[in-house]
Amino acid sequence: MTDFFFARSQMALSLAFHIVFAAIGIGMPLLMAIAEGLYLRRGEAIYLDLAKRWARGTAILFAVGAVSGTVLSFELGLLWPRFMEYAGGIIGMPFSLEGFAFFTEAIFLGIYLYGWDRTPPLMHWISGIIVAGSGMLSGVFVVTVNAWMNAPTGFEVTDGRVTSIDPIAAMLNPASLQQVIHMTLAAYVATGFIVAAVHAFFLLRDRRNVFHRRAFGIALAVAAVGIPFQIVSGDMIARMVAERQPAKFAAMEGHYRTQRGAPLTIGGLPDDAAMTTRYALRIPRGLSLLAHGDPTAPVRGLEDIPRDEWPNTRIVHWAFDLMVGAGFAMLGLAAWGAWLWWRRGLPDDPRFLRALVVAGPLGLIAIEAGWFVTEVGRQPWIIYGVMRTADAVTPMSGLVVPFVTFTAVYVFLSVILVYVLRRQFLETHPNAPGRSGAAPGASRGG
């Protein structure tokens, strides 16, 4: 295995680790702001309690997100210096704006987490809203950078050197809008599902618990409202990819032969040598319809693309199907929940709660799978059609060492996090004996 392989693996590992915390860091502040807003409006102390308890978990996850994000900003240069040398001036703009958004988020998160007794209630709530807004914005800015790697625009090259840059055009590239909407919704939906699952777990033990009922209601509402829009946004982004990145699109769909009235290929085993996806479920004309809104439209297959510009078809196809499958499973659950809610109020049917506990991680799984689709699907390019990933890698050798180090650190942190968060949940369970689970700062304020 080469240094290049380890560089890619380290980057993939770092992104896969960070994205969980980034997504929850975008989603949780919204949930907390809703809970605290309901408290201010209705004066029910349980909502305040809820915001404080959620804040404890968020504080841990946010810190891990902040440091793992720092790792990524360094790794761009540590692993891909040629890429940064070429693209730094083009994509630095959204990164700088992200820096400020993140700054704002960190400042107001400090105020939010530690300032329960030090700020007037309204100001505290506004701080929470600022955290939610700036967290969302920093996600938006970072995603525009990734979108630029898929749809590089806003610069001119003469003799292999970037000679003219329009940083705003680079930021607002043709892939930005679709990717930004898709990732932002993903963060809310995934957070909503995972949080709803945690509270569903406690509701299964005690369905009368008002605290968990309120928490479950807010999280489920965010998830259920978000997921239908997310399916629509998925369709938007897929059409964009079909138009702009035919190789990625063909790999996503396991589609080898260019044809009119192309079928939709679900599952199966993509076989590059035989140029077909074996054992797959095929829906006639489905792909043409989805990609171009016309059941007879031609869809380019991988055969039209030079062999050395193919991404890894199995990873991309399977990751895509996993993401879509998870998305529709969540949509089904949301529909079931909405139906129950409409009929009888908060859906606390044990079968539904159990299903939700099992489905809790689906949003995060879909996010991971989605990033595998977009990142692996862009290969062999780091900047689509402009620079190959292999040409961007650092000349440093022995990259197995940092890869193993970061793997060890992240595995260690993941294990600890699960352990710490589990203790948090049990410890702050309202019926649990012992500490009353006061929010940070609340028990020791001035």
Instruction: Return the closest-CA partner of residue 442 out of 422, 428, 421.
Output: 428
C-beta of 99 vs 267, nearer to another protein? 99
Residue 118 near another protein by CB under 8 A: yes
Which listed residue (60, 225, 269, 400) binds another protein by CB under 8 A? 60
Residue 95 near another protein by CB under 8 A: yes
Cβ neighbours of 312 (radius 10 Å): 17
C-beta of 98 vs 368, nearer to another protein? 98
Residues 236-265 that bind another protein (CB under 8 A): none
Let me know: does 219 contact 31? Beta carbons within 8 Å. Answer: yes
Q: Minimum distance from CB of 244 to another protein (Å)?
A: 24
Which listed residue (103, 274, 332, 344) binds another protein by CB under 8 A? 103
C-beta of 298 vs 430, nearer to another protein? 430
Residue 286 near another protein by CB under 8 A: no
Instruction: Return the closest-CA partner of residue 23 out of 282, 230, 300, 324.
Output: 230
Residue 71 near another protein by CB under 8 A: yes
Residue 325 near another protein by CB under 8 A: no
Which listed residue (394, 400, 407, 430) binds another protein by CB under 8 A? 394
Residues 143-172 that bind another protein (CB under 8 A): 162-168
Site string for another protein, 339-378 (x = CB under 8 A): ----------------------------------------
Site string for another protein, 188-227 (x = CB under 8 A): ----------------------------------------
Q: Given the rule CB under 8 A, which of 46-54, 101-109, 252-260, 288-296 is the region that contacts another protein?
A: 101-109
Site string for another protein, 401-440 (x = CB under 8 A): -x--xx--x---x--x---x--xx--x-------x--x-x
Which listed residue (42, 110, 281, 339) binds another protein by CB under 8 A? 110
Residue 321: is it exposed, middle or buried by C-beta count within 10 angstroms (0-12/13-18/19+)? buried
Give the list of residues 6+ apart from residue 66 with CB closer than 8 angstroms, or none. Answer: 102, 106
* Pairing mode of beta strands 281-283, 264-266: antiparallel
Please name the helix (run of DSSP H) or strand (run of DSSP E) that holds residue 388, with its range, or none: strand 387-388
What is the sign of the dihedral through the CA atoms of 409, 410, 411 and 414?
Answer: positive
DSSP 26-38: HHHHHHHHHHHHH
Let me know: does 246 contact 302? Beta carbons within 8 Å. Answer: no
Which listed residue (92, 267, 380, 385) binds another protein by CB under 8 A? 92
DSSP 279-337: T-EEETTHHHHHHHS-TT-EE--GGGS-GGG---HHHHHHHHHHHHHHHHHHHHHHHHH
* Pairing mode of beta strands 276-278, 161-165: unpaired
Which listed residue (85, 243, 304, 309) binds another protein by CB under 8 A? 85
Cα distance from N-terminal residue to C-terminal residue, the chain: 57
Residue 9 near another protein by CB under 8 A: no
Q: Minimum distance from CB of 382 to another protein (Å)?
A: 14
Which listed residue (12, 16, 46, 66) binds another protein by CB under 8 A? 66
Residue 106 near another protein by CB under 8 A: yes
- Residue 61 token pair: 């996850």
Residue 121 near another protein by CB under 8 A: no
C-beta of 67 vs 275, nearer to another protein? 67
Which listed residue (24, 48, 51, 113) binds another protein by CB under 8 A? 113
Q: How far, in whole angstroms, is CA 279 from its chain's centroid?
A: 30
- Assign 3-state DSSP to the chain and report helix, strand, coil percentages, each to 5: 75, 5, 20
Q: How far, in whole angstroms, is CA 328 from its chain's centroid?
A: 16
Residue 177 near another protein by CB under 8 A: no
C-beta of 167 vs 325, nearer to another protein? 167
Tell me how far apart the 2 most distant CA atoms of the chain are, in Å: 71
